[in-house]
């Protein structure tokens, strides 16, 4: 299997953390792609018409995208039933937590595109305020969920997604101070981020 990859992508981090948790990381061939919202890479579009990473090329040549699909495929391939509970309330809770983490990331990345590559004179302050409000709302929900997360003996796709989202805030929004007023989320993340799969996937800038 080949994973189209960028080391700074939090969605890729989620996939790699899952691969490590289920013991499949060694079966992944990694191919770097400098995916950009401003310039579509024809090589990537051949695999994912949306031009986004991650994309997973299977041994039979078929392609899976994006991170929720790839993560569930890896867990199913490994026979893992913990990350994605089979049925019932636990499954819906894990999937909803994944949606919360991914939604936080969507807002954070949308705002980063607005404030980093966009020329200053074209930036839209109302957009930034709206995205930061989404981030704050997601963080408050994670604070409310933290006691439940600490009670989980094993990680789920939900806890991995939430941790990857918080890690992205540390990486790209160091001045946000997301821990302020959210002690339970901060304590949960500090412990969860020391899992070997999280330590091994901490974001770094790509060096060619």
What the chain holds in terms of domains, given with CATH numbers, is 2-78 (3.40.30.10), 89-196 (1.20.1050.10)
pLDDT at 130 exceeding the cut of 90: yes
pLDDT in tens, 87-106: 899 999 999 999 999 999 99
Which DSSP state fits 162? H
Residues 134, 99: contact at Cβ < 8 Å? no
Contacts of 109 (CB under 8 A, 6+ apart): none
The predicted pLDDT at position 182 comes to 98
What is the average per-residue pLDDT within 157-177? Answer: 97
For the ranges 5-19, 35-49, 122-136, the lowest mean pLDDT is seen at 35-49
Instruction: Count Cβ atoms below 10 Å from residue 62 Cβ, excluding itself.
Output: 8
Residue labelled with tokens 């997301």: 178
In the beta sheet, which residues pair with residue 29? Answer: 2
Three-state SS string across 86-155, please?
Answer: CCCHHHHHHHHHHHHHHHHHHHHHHHHHHHCCCCHHHCCHHHHHHHHHHHHHHHHHHHHHHHHHHCCCCC
């Amino acid at each position: 299997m080949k994973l189209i990859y960028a080391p700074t992508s939090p969605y890729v981090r989620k996939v790699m953390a899952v691969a490590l948790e289920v013991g499949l990381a060694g079966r992944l061939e990694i191919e770097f792609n400098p995916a950009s919202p401003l310039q579509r890479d024809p090589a990537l579009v051949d695999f994912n018409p949306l031009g986004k990473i991650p994309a997973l090329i299977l041994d039979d040549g078929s392609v899976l995208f994006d991170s929720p699909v790839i993560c569930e495929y890896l867990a199913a391939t490994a026979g893992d039933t913990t990350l994605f509970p089979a049925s019932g309330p636990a499954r819906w809770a894990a999937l909803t937590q994944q949606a919360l983490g991914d939604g936080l990331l969507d807002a954070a990345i949308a705002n980063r595109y607005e404030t980093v590559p966009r020329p200053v004179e074209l930036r839209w302050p109302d957009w930034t305020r709206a995205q930061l409000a989404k981030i704050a709302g997601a963080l408050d929900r994670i604070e409310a969920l933290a006691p439940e997360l600490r009670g989980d003996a094993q990680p789920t796709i939900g806890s991995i997604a939430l941790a990857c989202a918080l890690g992205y805030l540390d990486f790209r929004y160091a001045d946000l101070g997301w821990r302020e007023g959210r002690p339970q989320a901060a304590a949960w993340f500090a412990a969860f981020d020391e899992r070997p799969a999280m330590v091994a996937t901490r974001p770094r800038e790509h060096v060619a």
